[in-house]
Every structure is written in structure tokens, then in C-alpha cells.
Amino acid sequence: MQHPLRTKPPAAYGWLRTIVVVAIALLASESFVVLGIVKPLRIEGSSMAPTLLGPHVKVVCPHCDHRFAVAADQVPEFRPYVCPDCREKFHATPTEVKLGQRMWVNRICLATGDIGRWDVVVFRCPERAGTLCIKRVLGLPGEHVDFSSGDLLINGQVLRKSLKEQMRLRQLVHREREELAAWHADDDGWHFADNAWQHGGEATRLAFQPAGGTVTDDLGINQTATRPTYAALDLMVTTNVHLAPGATVEFVAQLADGRVLTQTIDRPGETQVVWSLFDRQALLAVDGRVVWREPSASAWPDQPRLAVVATGIVKLGELQVWRDAYYHTRPVDRWPLAGVTLGPGGLFVVGDNVAISEDSRTWASHALRQELLIGVPLGELRDSRLDSPAASE
């Protein structure tokens, strides 16, 4: 069977990282509209946050100095803000509402059929006449789509993202810094200085203990939305590792069923490490190259507990924890128990702000028909990816 849309290697839209539906208003730029090649648009909702921001306010947590965006329609009036990093509550008076991001939408891809999984697409909303929406493509024509434990299932199998796709979809959970240390050392073999964890001597352990005890699928952008939250099962650690000769650092993930996933790095000098537990698979990448992966037949039984064990002189700079998009259908009463099978030409699209997005999960028809597509965003006007190497892909 020939599909009008074909899968292609995903484009790396540097600034594009996540999913779902956002209403968009057309900017008045008749010339481009007449040409029909690109459309200038502005994001008007938060269903694609944190990848694409609609109208929002910027807030700074007084407890940990974390700066985050809150959707303009999610600003708490009588309640305090909750910091997504340290989880402390605080009151603040934002100064101004910032407009949603602007972007160009490329229509040429529709003619060439170059739309693939994880691409962000702009289209006419199936259930809101006259409104444009923007979401991320999860399912392609002919595929069976379902979700389990936050993961995307395609034709009954968990969809495992490549390292590049993981980097595109990941959402920042915590950046280790002076103001907020979420990694805790067992003993004084470790100390935090110059924005890095530094170790010397015998093997000792540094464990990740997120504020509140668990990383959830919550986003700082949704301050007033009432909804269930889930423990994010798919975590990722990134760090710049500096090892003195003879030193080692072991990356550890402890699972609730007793399994322990570990990998050790012993190459002296500086390396960039990605330790990922996305999509029921443990993965280690060094300097952008995957050096080890171990799939799991089942979902993680609970949130993996992350730690590193260092021996000798070790420095961990830029230590950050991320999570994967957590897909679910819980608030959606239209979701069929058997999942959804897409017909020829149908796409399955979901917003990156999974918790609040209305999309293929909520529409009566589920599938996005191809004739409703407008195009694929090229980049934000102020931050054009046309200047970046990624644009040539």
C-alpha cells in the first residue's frame, strides 16, 4: 500500500522539542499568503508548550532562582505559584504578558510529502472551524496507535526514539546549580564548586533526589489546570564528565523490581555523556555517539532512581535531568480501549503539553485528515533556524 505521506528522518528543529495542539492566529502578511509558500503565524495557546509558547508571563522563583514561563490564562489570581523545580510556593506579580512566539510555516513539504513522525504540523482544527492548530505527529497512515505507561505504542510495540529524537522531545526537569542542589552525596567524597560536582578518593555515590521525591509530568506553564499528575518514568541525565587518569564514573539506575542498570566511563579527559532511560530502554551516549543500549521487555515498574558512583578525581559539570514526554489518555473520555487505527492519509497528532492539549486523543474522528494540513513550522522569526546547521537537513 502506498501512503501519500512517507516517513523521513526527522528534521532537527533545534528549538523544537515537544508536542500538541495550539491555536494560531494569522499575522497580516498578504504577500507570503499570496505566494502560498510560507505563512507567518503567531502561537495563541499553550498546548505545544514548553516547545512553543503562546501568550505567557515570565516568573522567577525566589527560593531557587528558577525562571519559567506561565501561560497567560494560567496565572493564579488568589493562589501562590508553585515552582516546577524546587516545588516551593510563592507570590509574584508578573510585569507584562509576552505575546506568543511567531514563526514561518512552510507549505512546500505538503507537495513533497515530507512529513514524518515527531514533526510539528500546522492544520485547520477538525473540531473548531476557522481555527488553526499546531501539534506533533505521533502516528502515520495505516498505523495502530495506543499508549501505555507514558509511552507511545505503534502497532502494539513501544516506539523507541533515536538519541536525536530523544533530544528533540525531552523536557528539562532540573539543572544542578548553587541555588538548588537536587543531587546528594553519601559522604564528603563529593563537593559542589564552580557549578560542578567534584569528587576525589574512594568510590562514593551521588544520588538524584528531586524536590517532592518524584519527578512528575507537571509543567510550570500549567499553574491552575486541575488534573491528575503522573510519575515520569523515562528520565535522562546529561553532564560533562572530566576524569583524571585512572578515575571512573558509573551511571546507575535502580528499578523498583530490583534490576540495576549501570554503565561505567573510564576514558580520561572530558566527555559529554547522555544516560537515558527513555522508551523502555537504557542508553549511554558519549560525545553524541550511542555506545551502549539495553532494551527492557516491560515498562519501568516505578520511577528509576538515578545515581552516579565516582572513583578517583572526577568532575561532573552541567549536570541536568530531563524527562520524556509522558503520553496518556486518562482525562479523555473518547479514547477507545483498543486504541486507534489510522486510515490511509490519516495522521495522529498530540500537543507537547499533553495534560491540556485537545488533539487526536480527544477528537471524535481521532485522525487528522491530510487535506486539513497547512504546513510545517520553519522556525521562530526572531530565532531563525535558517542560520543553523540543522536547517540544511
Query: In the complex, which residues of this chain contact Zn ion (CB under 5 A)?
Result: 61, 63-64, 66, 83, 85-86
Q: Answer for the pair 222, 71: CB distance below 8 angstroms, yes or no.
A: yes
Contact 110, 375 (CB under 8 A): yes
Name the residue nearer to Zn ion (CB basis): 60 or 299: 60
Please state the closest distance from residue 66 (CB atom) to Zn ion, in A: 4
For residues 24 and 390, the answer to whether their CB atoms sit within 8 Å is no
Residue in 204, 239, 216, 232 with CA at minimum distance from that of residue 304: 232
Nearer to Zn ion among residue 66 and residue 161 (C-beta): 66
Alpha-carbon gap, residue 16 to 38, rounded angstroms = 18
- Locus of grid cell 553519601: 186
Q: Which CB atom, from 88 or from 114, has the smaller least distance to Zn ion?
A: 88
**Contact partners, residue 91, CB within 8 Å, separation at least 6:** 80, 81
- Give whichever of 65 and 250 is closer to Zn ion, judged by the CB atom: 65
Judged by phi (left if over 0) then psi (alpha if -120 to 50, else beta), residue 123 lies in: beta
Q: Closest approach of Cβ 175 to Zn ion, in Å?
A: 11
Which residue reads 503565524 in cell numbers? 41
Contact assessment for residue 327 and residue 151, using Cβ atoms and an 8 Å cutoff: yes
Strand pairing partners for 236?
A: 276, 322
Q: Closest distance between Zn ion and the C-beta of residue 198, in Å? A: 24
Residues with catalytic function = 47, 135
Least separation in angstroms between CB 61 and Zn ion: 3
Q: Write down the least CB distance from residue 86 to Zn ion, Å.
A: 3
- Percent helix / strand / coil, the chain, rounded to 5: 10, 40, 50
Closest to Zn ion by CB, 178 or 294 = 178
